[in-house]
Chain A
Amino acid sequence: MPIISKLVNNTVAKTGITSAPPGPNDPLLRVEDLRAYFYMDEGIVKAVDGVSFEVHPGKVVGIVGESGCGKSVTMKAILQILEPTAKIVSGKVSLRMRTGSDDPNSAEEWIELTRQKPNSRIMRRIRGAEIALIPQEPMAAFSPVHTVGNQIMETILLHRKVSKAEARQIAIDVFRAVGISMPEQRIDSYSWELSGGLRQRAIIAMALSCNPRLLIADEPTTAIDVTTQAQILKLLRRLQEERQTSIIFITHDLGVIAQMADEVVVMYLGMVMERGPVMTIFKDARHPYTQALLRSIPSVQSTPRVKLPTIAGSIAHPFNRPSGCPFHPRCTRFMRGVCNTAEPRMIPLGDNHFVNCFLYSQETAPAADTAAPAAPTEQSA
């Protein structure tokens, strides 16, 4: 669309982003040192404090973390849908955007998402068409007074130049693609008429309706049963393979991560603790938090009725983030004077594996055990 390209070019020119077009090996989305803070009466909450990762085309990135780690806020910051009390303080989020909307082979450009105004034309175009969100609660994501078909058609009509009849057909097709039987009838039902599994599929359908290149799935299987979860995970994998969509998969369930992700990002209290390929993280985790996390989860493979190793203490309140490395009060390898005084930096360990820990930086590594790998990540069955 010539209008769209002109718009994009204008915006690009105004915001003065780099004009070098993205190459085929560049990531689809690059997050660099993103910081987003909440400004509240009681103080400042540094919900996201220096998060960096990349999402490559066609890959699944799993973001793992417990409550307070900032994973949802990161996603909201990327899509610029933060609450009014929150602000992106610094950092860069770059997206490889297609300038021609429907043409997969069109030219691409880098867009800096953080420099856009949340309500700008360009952000609204990106949301839904380039990046789609699958929210956590399928019930809350649908309006109870509109049919699901209506809502999907609204999304389609916003982003594509099609007629209402065509939009309805696209909606029916995408319903079929996500495995909803009798799509022609189901399209006219209300969200509360659908069961949990169907609702989740309908949400995924809505997210896919405009062929986004990146899907952000925010804990999509937390609220549903395990057998339905298995169906949804299988569906997501199939869709990802068919359409080469990238997925950012947010969850706290390490089992789901192991099954779905190509790369893993481990977050704690607003910072990335470790990231790398999924095999490496599970077999050779280096960060004490990752190691402890992997060891403390019960799994169907582990020995029953044996006490699980736990992480001492509890997650600090976001108002009270510890100085330096946020994990240091609970860390078994804490180095006094080092870990509590300065924030650690991401250290590359090769093969796309990064760890954010003083144990592995040249200057501060303790004498003998830099090379010591983690204890086995699973207990023997």
Chain B
Amino acid sequence: MSDGVNPNNSKSEQASSAPLLEVRNLKKYFPIYKGLMRRVVNHVRAVDDVSFFVREGETLGLVGESGCGKTTVSRCILRAHPPTSGQILFREADGTVTDLAPLDRKELARFRPQMQMIFQDPYGSLNPRMTIFDIISEPLYVNGVKSRAQRSEMVAELLKLVGLRPEYMQRYPHAFSGGQRQRIGIARALALKPRLIVADEPVSALDVSVQAQVLNLMLELQEKFNLTYLFVAHDLSVVKHICDRVAVMYVGKVVELASTEELFETPRHPYTAALMTAVPVPDPTRRDIIQDLPGEVASPANPPSGCYFHPRCKYAESICSTQTPDLREITPGHYVSCHRAEELQLAGISGHKVGISS
């Protein structure tokens, strides 16, 4: 078991401020049943010992391909699922730190206003039978604001914040486009003035020109309200644009965690480097940069032994198939989970190679 990512142990200078959210050794396994008596034969290790922290006011990106567990992590943090094990430490405004993992429904109730979510699908995240007013004021109503007049005013404010006309609050979701619905979802998330917002692929389902609008809005709101974002995405360009730090996940584990610039310029994990080069660059003069990664993404129900990435890794050695590497701090603030991290020279976005020669 890794000693985890502990901001207090970090050699980085910025780590002195206590984080808003810290996840320690989080695990979420889903049982697989078989047979008439529904015996548990195996588990899908959706989240397999994940640790990271997020400071107040920053944006942490959670990147990975399908099956890597990033969505499950985001939902565990918000306690939509109870985690199998691990700790979810949340620091409130007055400084008290609570572990959300073991809490029950009633105890969680007071944390709900402080952490909200923005969803991926603009069509599935709004109840088609409720007006925009109903949708956005629901969190307000449930948390004590019963007066309709008061809620109306608050909803109008929220709509203006996200760039929509307040007089449209009597409309139903079917009247709005994808980008507008996403704004409505953002307004709903802001209603309770949360400190942490988990954004689960908020722009993946939108048209390209609309993505920029929503990303700009999110940046603006973050500045205004000192919001903290956990930004789950699969699109590296979006992640580079909006995140301060990025965690790369593969089959339920964090393989690398670093500041955005460091991750993109000097990746230390072979998977990260492969992801960088796989992203098609919108520049026709740089055509032959696509390098592919052989094989398929490993299955979280049946991961390979040792390092989960070793069957596809061109730098794999014998130790990689027997021992799972820990997530350790290789340079201040930069964590990698790879046996050969120090020796490897990997190309980043600009094609630079760094690292001590092997």
- Which of A's residues lie within 8 Å of B, judged by CB? 66-67, 195-198, 225-231, 233-234, 252-259, 261, 278-279, 282, 292-294, 296-302, 304-305, 307-311, 314-315, 317, 378, 381
Contact = CB atoms under 8 A, between A and B. Distances in A.
Interface in B231-255: 234-238, 240-244
Contacts of A298: 211-212, 215, 237-238, 240-242
Interface of B: 65-66, 177-180, 207-213, 215-216, 219-220, 234-238, 240-244, 260-261, 264, 274-285, 287, 290-293, 296-297, 349-350
A300 B65 contact: no
Nearest to A195: B296
Contacts of B274: 227
A258 B280 contact: yes
A66 B208 contact: yes
A234 B292 contact: yes
A315 B283 contact: no
A278 B287 CA distance: 12
A110 B140 CA distance: 66
Contacts of B215: 298, 308
Contacts of A278: 284
A258 B207 contact: no
The 7 A-B pairs with the shortest beta carbon distances in the complex, nearest first, are A255-B280, A230-B278, A298-B241, A225-B65, A66-B207, A308-B212, A296-B212
Contacts of B216: 307-308, 310
B281 A315 contact: no
Contacts of A259: 280-281, 284, 287, 290
Contact of B282 (A66, A225, A297, A310): A297
A142 B212 CA distance: 35
B283 A378 contact: yes
B280 A314 contact: no
B208 A293 contact: yes
Contacts of A195: 296-297
Nearest to B175: A317
B261 to A, nearest CB: 8
B237 A299 contact: yes
B30 to A, nearest CB: 19
Contacts of B277: 230
A226 B284 contact: no
Contacts of B349: 300-301, 381
B296 A310 contact: no
